[in-house]
């Protein structure tokens, strides 16, 4: 289970967990979804990893 501020508790199966732990998916933690918005709004932090988890949950 993964806790998400938007979706709450996200249940993941074994295959999803293996994919989430993979190096390519973990790399998404360092890629900003919002570009340079955090330069103006310091609290606006959202990564491609977080976006991908929400997308996986909604799919």
Cα→Cα distances 33→3, 36, 48, Å: 19, 9, 5
pLDDT tens profile 21-52: 999 999 999 999 998 898 899 888 889 999 99
| Domain ranges across the chain | 2-58
Whole-number pLDDT of residue 35: 87
pLDDT tens profile 9-18: 999 999 999 9
Buried-exposed string 18-47: b where 16+ CB fall within 10 A, e elsewhere? eebeeeebeebeeeeeeeeeeeeeeeeeee
Q: Say what the pTM is.
A: 0.81
């Amino acid at each position: 289970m993964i806790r998400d501020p938007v979706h709450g508790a996200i249940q993941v199966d074994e295959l999803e967990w293996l994919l989430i732990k993979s190096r390519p998916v973990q790399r998404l933690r360092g890629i900003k979804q919002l570009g340079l918005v955090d330069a103006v709004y310091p609290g606006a932090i959202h990564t491609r990893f977080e976006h991908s988890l929400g997308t996986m949950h909604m799919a």
